[in-house]
Amino acid sequence: MSVTIASIKELRQRSGAGMMDCKKALGETEGNVEEALIWLQKKGISKAAKKAGRTAAEGLVGLKIEGGAAVIIEVNCETDFVARNENFQAFVDRLTNLAFEAGVTDIDGLNGVAVEDGKTVADWVPEQIAAIGENIQLRRLQRLESAEGLIGGYVHAGSKIGVLVETAVATASTEAAAEFSRNVAMHVAAARPEFLSPDDVDDATQAARKDILVAQALDSGKPPEIVEKMIVGRMRKWLAEISLLKQPYVKDPDMSVEKYQKSVGGLSISRFVRFQVGEGIEVEKSSLADEVAALSGN
């Protein structure tokens, strides 16, 4: 048998391995896909360490809420192709459940959790790298616990965005609080607030933003007294844009999230967490067509 683009794509689909690994496996097994699958399994573990240095900016967000506790985790891989692989999805689901049940609050804690037969998560990840064929990174994890409140969640865009919202409940019904928390979580997914309210924006962040606005205003040639008034107005607008309570509520832009909160009554937002896969990671992306062209020598 010969190694063809079709056989490489079939092996990649079945194994989740990278294209170059699939090409080499087929070359070693004279184009036999079944034997190539076995070859990848045998060779994969020894190659996992080499893959660990490669950029992983795709992946999934896992989320679990039960009772008054919740956990959210971001697990990265190299390509969206692997992120849509059932094996990778099952891996993220299990990590999410392990993190929740163990009560861990960060990735270091999760790495020490036992999986089976004395194996920890830290031992298990390289095996998954070998089986899936791409670098995998457990990037971040956060746990929320609310003794008297309620935690709502929302997952969007094929688990690329996950949100948790903790709501302090005073007199609102459980049903009203649950609906409110989910609606606000959907809003956070769409509107990307950075802080709960303007009062939560730290001085350093405000000072950095003010420096940018001052430079922009001075470049316009306006007199200093006009610049100062411009800065006050622009800072106020910016603070509202990045603060959840001041943002226009996505389901009814005529009112802010704060007004929506007041309209429900008997509750208030305590905090929120928003994870988006790959945010802040710089990566040079290539398409599947580029990979195929490279393999063809074009």
Which of 41-45, 261-265, 278-282 is predicted most confidently?
Answer: 261-265
CA–CA separation, 298 and 296 (whole Å): 6
pLDDT in tens, 77-128: 999 999 999 999 999 999 999 999 999 999 999 999 999 888 899 989 988 8
Answering whether pTM is above 0.75, one says: yes
CA–CA separation, 246 and 147 (whole Å): 27
Report the CATH architecture of 5-54. Answer: Orthogonal Bundle (1.10)
Q: Which H or E element spans position 284?
A: none
Q: What is the mean pLDDT of the chain?
A: 89
Q: What's the gap between Cα 152 and its chain centre?
A: 17
Mean pLDDT of 228-240: 93
Q: Which residues lie below 8 Å from residue 228, measured CB to CB, with a gap of 6+?
A: none
CA–CA separation, 50 and 108 (whole Å): 22
Name beta bridge partners: 143. 71
Mean pLDDT of 120-146: 91
Residue 59 banded pLDDT, cuts 50, 70, 90? very high
Q: Both tokens of residue 195? A: 């802080």
